[in-house]
Amino acid sequence: MLKSKEIKTFLWFDGQAEEAAKFYTGIFKSGKVGTIARYPEGGPGAVGSVMTVEFELDGQVFVGLNAGPQFKFNEAVSFAIECDTQEEIDYYWNKLLAGGGKPVQCGWLKDRYGVFWQVFPAQMWKLWSDPKTAPRAMQAMLKMVKFDIAKLKEATK
């Protein structure tokens, strides 16, 4: 039988992997930067420049890879943060937008590195799964950029 393995999310950057890791770990309370590997002689990057940086956000391990401009992030992959309060939504929303991020819609945003995030209330799962509240929750959500828990609750009464 195969042994269970840790799955790490690799994020492709164009020279900003260490900067991004420090940005993200500064937002998440238990965030921490781990091992940093540098390009050796004969590698595709400048000798001594950051090749990869491992970092952790609330127990989830990521690796930032400085690999050049060939690939960009897009909406096909996003990281979702379930928030219990409006205060948490406001905190993550504002922090992730800092320095040039862009709000999208329905709780989605694009941070300054081009990574997409969803910042949404944890109670959305309950609202979406209840046939009585799902239509009203959906209609309220579609009108929002950043989620407003009070407005969602009002719309689903």
Torsional sign, CA 8, 118, 115, 27: negative
For the structural domain made of 9-66, what CATH number should be given?
3.30.720.100
Q: Determine the pLDDT at residue 145.
A: 98
Q: Determine the pLDDT at residue 136.
A: 94
Q: Determine the pLDDT at residue 73.
A: 97
Sequence letter at residue 27? I
In the chain, where the domains are located: 9-66, 78-155
Q: Determine the pLDDT at residue 33.
A: 98
Q: Determine the pLDDT at residue 29.
A: 92
**Which class would CATH give 78-155?**
alpha beta
Query: In whole angstroms, what is the distance from residue 157 CA to residue 154 CA?
Result: 6
Q: Determine the pLDDT at residue 6.
A: 87
How far lies 91's CA from each of 82, 83, 112, 142, in Å? Answer: 12, 10, 16, 21
Low-confidence ranges of the chain (pLDDT < 50): none
Q: Determine the pLDDT at residue 4.
A: 86
Helices (H), the chain: 17-27, 86-97, 124-129, 134-142, 149-155
Q: Determine the pLDDT at residue 58.
A: 95
Query: In whole angstroms, what is the distance from residue 97 CA to residue 118 CA?
Result: 12
In the three-class reduction of DSSP (H, G, I as helix; E, B as strand; rest coil), residue 117 is classed as strand
Using one digit for the tens of pLDDT, what is the confidence trace for 1-34?
888 888 999 999 999 999 999 999 999 999 999 9
Verdict on whether the full-model pTM lies above 0.95? no
